[in-house]
Structure 1
Amino acid sequence: MRRHEFQPGRLIAGLVLLLAGVLYLVETTGEADVPWYAVIPMTAGGLTLAALVGLVTYAVRRDRRDRISESNDR
């Protein structure tokens, strides 16, 4: 199997959506009363954090790739 690069933004997005799903599952089973106004901002904030982490990761990898190509050109 071909290896792929680690993408922390996608990891954060997956974990946040998994947590939101678990909270709704807990509410459905009647274990706890989770208000919607707690889950929606948590999900939106988590997806925003994931987007920022993805942008930072992209910028760091692009900068690293540019430095390597500059050193090979000399």
Structure 2
Amino acid sequence: MRRHEFQPGRLIAGLVLLAVGVLYLLDATGRADLPWYAVVPMAAGGLTLAMLVGMTTYAVRRDRRDRISESSER
């Protein structure tokens, strides 16, 4: 199996959505009483955080790639 790049933004998005799903499952089974306005902002905030982390990761990798290609051209 080929190795792939680690993408922390996707990891954060997956963990946040997993947590939201577990909270909704707990609410559906009656083990927790969560209002919708507590869970929806958590999901939106988590996805926003994942987007920021993904964009930062992309910018760092692009900058590193550009510096490597510039040094190999010399």
TM-score between both structures, scaled by the size of structure 2: 0.99
The answer for unaligned runs of 5 or more in structure 2 is none
Identity within the alignment, %: 81
Runs of 4+ in 1 over 4 A off after TM superposition: none
Residues 42-73 of structure 1: per-residue CA shift (max 9 Å, x gap): 00000000000000000000000000000000
What amino acid is aligned across from residue 35 of structure 1 in structure 2?
P
Q: How many residues align?
A: 74
The answer for unaligned runs of 5 or more in structure 1 is none
- Once the two structures are superposed, the pairs formed by residues 56-71 of structure 1 within 5 Å of their partners are 56-71=56-71
**1:10, distance to aligned residue in structure 2 (A):** 0.2
- Once the two structures are superposed, the pairs formed by residues 34-73 of structure 1 within 5 Å of their partners are 34-73=34-73
CA RMSD of aligned residues (A): 0.4
TM-score between both structures, scaled by the size of structure 1: 0.99
